Protein backbone atom coordinates (compact mmCIF):
# COMPACT_ATOMS: atom_id res chain seq x y z
CA UNK A 1 0.00 0.00 0.00
CA UNK A 2 1.35 3.42 -0.99
CA UNK A 3 -0.16 6.82 -0.23
CA UNK A 4 -1.65 8.71 -3.18
CA UNK A 5 -0.36 11.92 -4.71
CA UNK A 6 -1.73 15.41 -5.09
CA UNK A 7 0.03 18.04 -7.17
CA UNK A 8 -0.99 21.54 -6.12
CA UNK A 9 0.66 24.68 -4.80
CA UNK A 10 -1.35 24.57 -1.57
CA UNK A 11 0.14 22.26 1.02
CA UNK A 12 -2.20 19.63 2.42
CA UNK A 13 -1.79 18.73 6.08
CA UNK A 14 -3.24 15.91 8.16
CA UNK A 15 -3.74 16.78 11.83
CA UNK A 16 -4.02 13.73 14.11
CA UNK A 17 -5.07 14.98 17.53
CA UNK A 18 -7.65 13.69 20.04
CA UNK A 19 -7.82 16.84 22.19
CA UNK A 20 -10.59 18.98 20.75
CA UNK A 21 -9.28 22.35 21.97
CA UNK A 22 -5.81 21.85 20.51
CA UNK A 23 -7.22 20.50 17.26
CA UNK A 24 -9.46 23.56 16.93
CA UNK A 25 -6.53 25.88 17.65
CA UNK A 26 -4.43 24.14 14.99
CA UNK A 27 -7.23 24.43 12.44
CA UNK A 28 -7.83 28.08 13.28
CA UNK A 29 -4.16 29.03 12.99
CA UNK A 30 -3.07 26.92 10.03
CA UNK A 31 -6.35 27.34 8.20
CA UNK A 32 -5.69 31.06 7.89
CA UNK A 33 -2.70 30.33 5.66
CA UNK A 34 -2.35 28.43 2.41
CA UNK A 35 -3.03 24.99 3.82
CA UNK A 36 -5.70 22.42 3.09
CA UNK A 37 -6.42 20.64 6.36
CA UNK A 38 -7.81 17.21 7.20
CA UNK A 39 -8.43 15.88 10.70
CA UNK A 40 -8.30 12.50 12.42
CA UNK A 41 -9.13 11.98 16.09
CA UNK A 42 -7.36 8.64 16.33
CA UNK A 43 -4.54 6.73 14.68
CA UNK A 44 -6.58 4.20 12.72
CA UNK A 45 -8.61 6.96 11.06
CA UNK A 46 -5.32 8.66 10.22
CA UNK A 47 -3.96 5.51 8.55
CA UNK A 48 -7.11 5.21 6.46
CA UNK A 49 -6.79 8.82 5.30
CA UNK A 50 -3.10 8.39 4.52
CA UNK A 51 -3.79 5.31 2.44
CA UNK A 52 -6.28 7.22 0.31
CA UNK A 53 -5.03 10.80 0.16
CA UNK A 54 -1.77 12.66 -0.38
CA UNK A 55 -0.44 14.90 2.39
CA UNK A 56 2.59 17.17 2.47
CA UNK A 57 3.01 16.89 6.24
CA UNK A 58 1.37 14.90 9.05
CA UNK A 59 1.06 16.51 12.50
CA UNK A 60 0.74 13.52 14.82
CA UNK A 61 -0.01 13.55 18.55
CA UNK A 62 1.77 10.83 20.50
CA UNK A 63 -0.88 10.18 23.17
CA UNK A 64 -3.81 8.93 21.08
CA UNK A 65 -6.67 6.64 22.10
CA UNK A 66 -6.17 3.02 21.13
CA UNK A 67 -2.94 3.11 19.14
CA UNK A 68 -0.24 5.60 20.14
CA UNK A 69 1.53 7.99 17.80
CA UNK A 70 4.81 6.06 17.80
CA UNK A 71 3.02 2.96 16.51
CA UNK A 72 1.09 4.96 13.93
CA UNK A 73 4.32 6.51 12.69
CA UNK A 74 5.89 3.07 12.26
CA UNK A 75 2.83 1.88 10.36
CA UNK A 76 2.98 4.90 8.06
CA UNK A 77 6.50 3.84 7.09
CA UNK A 78 6.11 0.04 7.12
CA UNK A 79 2.49 -0.61 6.08
CA UNK A 80 1.68 2.32 3.81
CA UNK A 81 5.32 2.73 2.71
CA UNK A 82 4.87 6.49 2.80
CA UNK A 83 7.73 8.94 3.22
CA UNK A 84 5.36 11.79 4.15
CA UNK A 85 7.08 14.06 6.70
CA UNK A 86 5.74 13.50 10.24
CA UNK A 87 5.91 15.98 13.12
CA UNK A 88 5.22 14.40 16.51
CA UNK A 89 3.47 16.50 19.16
CA UNK A 90 3.90 15.43 22.79
CA UNK A 91 4.38 16.62 26.35
CA UNK A 92 7.01 13.90 26.80
CA UNK A 93 10.38 15.61 26.52
CA UNK A 94 12.92 13.04 27.71
CA UNK A 95 15.72 11.95 25.39
CA UNK A 96 14.31 8.42 25.56
CA UNK A 97 10.95 9.61 24.22
CA UNK A 98 12.62 11.60 21.46
CA UNK A 99 14.71 8.57 20.55
CA UNK A 100 11.55 6.46 20.37
CA UNK A 101 9.90 9.03 18.10
CA UNK A 102 12.74 9.35 15.65
CA UNK A 103 13.30 5.59 15.67
CA UNK A 104 9.65 5.15 14.71
CA UNK A 105 10.26 7.25 11.60
CA UNK A 106 9.33 10.78 12.69
CA UNK A 107 11.00 13.72 10.96
CA UNK A 108 10.51 16.24 13.76
CA UNK A 109 9.49 16.29 17.41
CA UNK A 110 7.77 19.27 19.04
CA UNK A 111 7.21 19.37 22.80
CA UNK A 112 3.98 20.83 24.22
CA UNK A 113 3.27 23.58 24.97
CA UNK A 114 4.58 25.18 21.79
CA UNK A 115 4.07 28.38 19.83
CA UNK A 116 1.95 27.99 16.71
CA UNK A 117 4.43 30.02 14.69
CA UNK A 118 7.19 27.55 15.57
CA UNK A 119 5.04 24.66 14.35
CA UNK A 120 4.36 26.50 11.10
CA UNK A 121 8.07 27.16 10.55
CA UNK A 122 8.78 23.46 11.01
CA UNK A 123 6.01 22.58 8.55
CA UNK A 124 7.47 24.96 5.98
CA UNK A 125 10.95 23.50 6.42
CA UNK A 126 9.69 19.95 5.90
CA UNK A 127 7.75 20.98 2.80
CA UNK A 128 10.88 22.57 1.33
CA UNK A 129 12.95 19.48 2.10
CA UNK A 130 10.33 17.18 0.62
CA UNK A 131 10.29 19.14 -2.64
CA UNK A 132 14.09 19.13 -2.88
CA UNK A 133 14.17 15.35 -2.54
CA UNK A 134 11.77 14.87 -5.45
CA UNK A 135 14.17 15.78 -8.27
CA UNK A 136 14.03 12.31 -9.83
CA UNK A 137 11.34 9.66 -9.52
CA UNK A 138 12.35 6.15 -10.59
CA UNK A 139 10.41 2.99 -11.45
CA UNK A 140 12.65 0.21 -12.79
CA UNK A 141 14.35 1.62 -15.93
CA UNK A 142 12.03 4.64 -16.15
CA UNK A 143 12.80 7.96 -14.48
CA UNK A 144 10.79 11.15 -14.30
CA UNK A 145 12.09 14.63 -13.50
CA UNK A 146 9.26 16.86 -12.20
CA UNK A 147 11.25 20.05 -12.70
CA UNK A 148 11.60 19.49 -16.45
CA UNK A 149 8.59 17.16 -16.95
CA UNK A 150 10.93 14.69 -18.65
CA UNK A 151 10.44 10.92 -18.85
CA UNK A 152 13.67 9.01 -19.53
CA UNK A 153 14.59 5.38 -20.16
CA UNK A 154 17.88 3.75 -19.23
CA UNK A 155 18.89 3.73 -22.91
CA UNK A 156 18.76 7.57 -22.85
CA UNK A 157 15.52 7.76 -24.84
CA UNK A 158 13.42 10.55 -23.41
CA UNK A 159 10.35 12.69 -23.94
CA UNK A 160 8.96 15.82 -22.33
CA UNK A 161 5.36 15.90 -21.15
CA UNK A 162 3.07 18.83 -20.56
CA UNK A 163 -0.23 19.75 -18.95
CA UNK A 164 -2.48 16.95 -17.82
CA UNK A 165 -0.15 14.29 -19.21
CA UNK A 166 2.65 15.42 -16.89
CA UNK A 167 0.35 15.48 -13.86
CA UNK A 168 -1.00 11.99 -14.60
CA UNK A 169 2.43 10.48 -15.18
CA UNK A 170 3.88 12.00 -12.01
CA UNK A 171 0.94 10.68 -10.02
CA UNK A 172 1.40 7.18 -11.46
CA UNK A 173 5.16 6.99 -10.93
CA UNK A 174 4.94 8.33 -7.36
CA UNK A 175 2.31 5.68 -6.62
CA UNK A 176 4.21 2.84 -8.30
CA UNK A 177 3.88 -0.13 -7.87
CA UNK A 178 0.37 0.46 -6.51
CA UNK A 179 -2.59 1.51 -8.63
CA UNK A 180 -4.10 4.99 -8.79
CA UNK A 181 -7.88 5.28 -8.54
CA UNK A 182 -10.00 7.58 -10.67
CA UNK A 183 -10.66 9.62 -7.54
CA UNK A 184 -6.95 10.10 -6.83
CA UNK A 185 -6.25 11.11 -10.42
CA UNK A 186 -9.12 13.56 -10.22
CA UNK A 187 -7.58 14.99 -7.04
CA UNK A 188 -4.23 15.39 -8.78
CA UNK A 189 -5.74 17.03 -11.85
CA UNK A 190 -8.41 19.28 -10.39
CA UNK A 191 -8.12 19.22 -6.61
CA UNK A 192 -11.28 17.20 -5.97
CA UNK A 193 -12.17 13.49 -6.24
CA UNK A 194 -15.31 13.93 -8.33
CA UNK A 195 -13.92 14.55 -11.81
CA UNK A 196 -15.56 12.91 -14.82
CA UNK A 197 -14.03 9.42 -15.42
CA UNK A 198 -14.55 9.81 -19.17
CA UNK A 199 -12.47 13.00 -19.16
CA UNK A 200 -9.77 11.22 -17.16
CA UNK A 201 -9.74 8.34 -19.67
CA UNK A 202 -9.34 10.84 -22.50
CA UNK A 203 -6.28 12.41 -20.85
CA UNK A 204 -4.78 8.99 -20.08
CA UNK A 205 -5.26 7.99 -23.72
CA UNK A 206 -3.36 11.10 -24.84
CA UNK A 207 -0.52 10.26 -22.43
CA UNK A 208 -0.38 6.70 -23.73
CA UNK A 209 -0.05 7.96 -27.30
CA UNK A 210 2.83 10.22 -26.31
CA UNK A 211 4.69 7.46 -24.47
CA UNK A 212 4.17 4.98 -27.30
CA UNK A 213 5.27 7.34 -30.06
CA UNK A 214 8.22 8.86 -28.19
CA UNK A 215 9.51 5.95 -26.12
CA UNK A 216 8.05 2.98 -27.98
CA UNK A 217 6.35 1.78 -24.83
CA UNK A 218 2.83 2.00 -23.40
CA UNK A 219 3.36 1.86 -19.64
CA UNK A 220 -0.17 2.42 -18.34
CA UNK A 221 -2.33 -0.57 -17.49
CA UNK A 222 -6.08 -0.10 -17.02
CA UNK A 223 -7.67 -1.77 -14.01
CA UNK A 224 -11.36 -2.06 -14.88
CA UNK A 225 -13.56 0.15 -12.67
CA UNK A 226 -10.59 0.88 -10.38
CA UNK A 227 -8.09 3.12 -12.16
CA UNK A 228 -4.59 2.72 -13.57
CA UNK A 229 -1.20 1.36 -12.63
CA UNK A 230 2.23 2.16 -14.08
CA UNK A 231 3.94 -0.80 -15.79
CA UNK A 232 7.45 0.51 -16.55
CA UNK A 233 8.41 -2.48 -18.71
CA UNK A 234 5.35 -2.03 -20.93
CA UNK A 235 4.04 -5.53 -20.21
CA UNK A 236 0.34 -4.82 -19.84
CA UNK A 237 -1.01 -8.37 -20.12
Over residues 11-40, the pLDDT tens digits come to 889 999 999 999 999 999 998 667 889 999
Q: What is the 3-state secondary structure (H, E, C) of 116-180?
A: HHHHHHHHHHHHHHHHHCCCCEEECCEEEECCCCEEEECCCCEEECCHHHHHHHHHHHHHCCCCE
Query: Could you tell me if 52 and 144 lie in one domain?
Result: no
Query: Could you tell me if 28 and 141 lie in one domain?
Result: no
75 inside domain: yes
Query: Could you say which residues of the chain have pLDDT below 50?
Result: 1-4, 6-8
Per-residue pLDDT, 134: 55
Per-residue pLDDT, 212: 94
Q: Which domain holds residue 224?
A: 137-230
Per-residue pLDDT, 180: 93
* pTM of this prediction exceeds 0.85: no
Over residues 65-102, the pLDDT tens digits come to 999 999 999 998 888 777 789 999 999 999 999 999 99
Query: Could you tell me if 142 and 99 lie in one domain?
Result: no
Per-residue pLDDT, 227: 94
Amino acid sequence: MVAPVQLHNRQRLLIVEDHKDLAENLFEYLGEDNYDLDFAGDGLTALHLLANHYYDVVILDVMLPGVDGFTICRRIRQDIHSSVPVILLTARDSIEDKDAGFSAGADDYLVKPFHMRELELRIQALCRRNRSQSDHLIAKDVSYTPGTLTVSLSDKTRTTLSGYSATIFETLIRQYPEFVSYQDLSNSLWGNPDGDPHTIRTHVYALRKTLKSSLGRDMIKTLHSRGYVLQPDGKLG
